[in-house]
């Protein structure tokens, strides 16, 4: 499978997207070094915010990913080697930062609460129902400087809906302050404190909230910073099993096999990139169906080892 069929490429003309001009060798097979997958970062859906994209744009991105052979995956798939993803599909992880209401809005309908069609969850639910072979799920990174998803009396409903329906909740910190500036002795308050805020709503399922997206998209370099995160727990569970930047790079699975790299995984800010500019990279794993059940997986990535609590 080539990840960009010619018909799809022909679609990449002028218009909404700012994709670079097509190159004639784009259909060449991916290089052997291809161990990368895309992780997409969205913020608001609709509205005039600088980081927002329109509902139509999100729907279009899903359509293009689906047609190009991608399959939805989650941060937790990093720990299982993406075994949920069919062998002829390419994993892509969708993430939504901040917990804006436009990501998940509920309204009173004829039969009770309904998800609005134009919010991120509404768009994902409709698309995944229509395309069951695309998988389902996305990660929502919540920060507690605002009411998660905007509707104060529905936090419980929304967080549990996500966990019940194949989505993941991630940690975007207590106050949305950059970890480039917070003193390290306050990190636990900003991260474990954010998980504690979820406890009244999701109870023991706080143990599932172990991935972090760094506010502002940056996290300091250096092993001493990783060590702080590795030892951080909330009621016996790791607080930070992995962490995501917003650096405009692909997530290189070959760099995430040990502790190194797990706190600095690349993501694309989708308000600044076209989906074509992301998926045209030949560094993305190229999925050829395995001919036999025991053939090796077509990527070299191994599952991230779980953190050992010290
Ligand atoms: Zn943010």
pLDDT digits (tens, 9 = 90+) for 7-59: 333 333 333 333 343 343 444 434 334 578 999 999 999 988 889 999 999 99
Instruction: Kindly give the distance from the C-alpha atom of residue 91 to the centroid of ligand 1, in angstroms, as a whole number.
Output: 24
Residues 6+ positions from 152 with CB-CB distance below 8 Å: none
Residue 108 has pLDDT above 80, yes or no: yes
The more confidently predicted of residues 121 and 83 is: 121
Instruction: Kindly give the distance from the C-alpha atom of residue 4 to the centroid of ligand 1, in angstroms, as a whole number.
Output: 31
Least confident interval from 59-63, 70-74, 289-293: 289-293
Q: What is the pLDDT of residue 19?
A: 39
Instruction: Kindly give the distance from the C-alpha atom of residue 246 to the centroid of ligand 1, in angstroms, as a whole number.
Output: 10
The more confidently predicted of residues 253 and 60 is: 60
Instruction: Kindly give the distance from the C-alpha atom of residue 175 to the centroid of ligand 1, in angstroms, as a whole number.
Output: 10
pLDDT digits (tens, 9 = 90+) for 133-190: 999 999 999 999 999 999 999 999 999 999 999 999 999 999 999 999 999 999 999 9
pLDDT digits (tens, 9 = 90+) for 225-243: 999 999 999 999 999 999 9
DSSP labels, 139-187 = EEEE-TTS-TTS-GGGHHHHHHHHHHTT-EEEE--SS---TTTS-GGGH
Instruction: Kindly give the distance from the C-alpha atom of residue 302 to the centroid of ligand 1, in angstroms, as a whole number.
Output: 29
The answer to whether 182 and 141 are in contact (CB under 8 A) is no
Q: What is the pLDDT of residue 106?
A: 98
Instruction: Kindly give the distance from the C-alpha atom of residue 265 to the centroid of ligand 1, in angstroms, as a whole number.
Output: 16
Instruction: Kindly give the distance from the C-alpha atom of residue 268 to the centroid of ligand 1, in angstroms, as a whole number.
Output: 13
Q: What is the pLDDT of residue 291?
A: 59
Helices (H), 18-142: 55-67, 120-130
Instruction: Kindly give the distance from the C-alpha atom of residue 244 to the centroid of ligand 1, in angstroms, as a whole number.
Output: 11
35-279: which CATH architecture? Alpha-Beta Barrel (3.20)
Instruction: Kindly give the distance from the C-alpha atom of residue 30 to the centroid of ligand 1, in angstroms, as a whole number.
Output: 33
- Note residues around ion ligand 1 (Cβ under 5 angstroms): 97-98, 215
Instruction: Kindly give the distance from the C-alpha atom of residue 16 to the centroid of ligand 1, in angstroms, as a whole number.
Output: 24
Q: What are the structural domain ranges in the chain?
A: 35-279
What predicted TM-score, i.e. pTM, was given to this entire model?
A: 0.85
Instruction: Kindly give the distance from the C-alpha atom of residue 174 to the centroid of ligand 1, in angstroms, as a whole number.
Output: 11
DSSP state of 56: H
Instruction: Kindly give the distance from the C-alpha atom of residue 110 to the centroid of ligand 1, in angstroms, as a whole number.
Output: 34
Q: What does the alpha-carbon distance between residue 286 and residue 3 come to, in Å, rounded to a whole number?
A: 7
Instruction: Kindly give the distance from the C-alpha atom of residue 21 to the centroid of ligand 1, in angstroms, as a whole number.
Output: 31
As to burial, measured by CB atoms within 10 angstroms (0-12 exposed, 13-18 middle, 19+ buried), residue 162 is buried
Instruction: Kindly give the distance from the C-alpha atom of residue 171 to the centroid of ligand 1, in angstroms, as a whole number.
Output: 10
């Amino acid at each position: 499978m080539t990840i960009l069929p010619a018909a799809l490429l022909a679609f990449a003309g002028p218009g909404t997207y700012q994709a670079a001009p097509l190159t004639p060798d784009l259909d060449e097979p991916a290089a052997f070094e291809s161990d990368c997958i895309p992780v997409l970062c969205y913020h608001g859906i609709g509205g005039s915010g600088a980081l927002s994209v329109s509902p139509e744009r999100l729907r279009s991105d899903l359509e293009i990913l689906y047609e190009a052979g991608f399959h939805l995956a989650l941060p937790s798939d990093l720990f299982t080697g993406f075994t949920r993803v069919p062998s002829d599909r390419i994993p892509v992880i969708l993430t939504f930062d901040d917990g804006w209401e436009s990501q998940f809005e509920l309204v009173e309908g004829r039969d009770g609460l309904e998800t609005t069609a134009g919010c991120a969850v509404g768009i994902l639910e409709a698309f995944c129902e229509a395309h069951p072979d695309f998988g389902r799920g996305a990660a929502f990174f919540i920060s507690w400087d605002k009411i998660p998803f905007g509707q104060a009396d529905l936090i419980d409903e929304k967080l549990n809906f996500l966990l019940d329906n194949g989505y993941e909740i991630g940690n975007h910190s207590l106050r949305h302050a950059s970890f480039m500036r917070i003193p390290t002795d306050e990190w636990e308050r900003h991260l474990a404190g954010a998980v504690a805020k979820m406890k009244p709503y999701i109870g023991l399922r706080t143990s599932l909230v172990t991935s972090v997206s760094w506010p502002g998209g940056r996290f300091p370099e250096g092993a001493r910073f990783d060590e702080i995160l590795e030892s951080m727990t909330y009621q016996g569970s790791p607080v930070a099993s992995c962490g995501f930047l917003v650096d405009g790079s692909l997530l290189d699975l070959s760099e995430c096999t040990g502790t190194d790299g797990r706190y600095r995984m690349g993501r694309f800010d989708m308000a600044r990139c076209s989906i074509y500019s992301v998926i045209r990279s030949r560094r993305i794993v190229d999925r050829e169906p395995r001919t036999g059940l025991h053939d090796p997986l077509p990527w070299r990535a191994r599952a991230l080892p779980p953190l050992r609590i010290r």
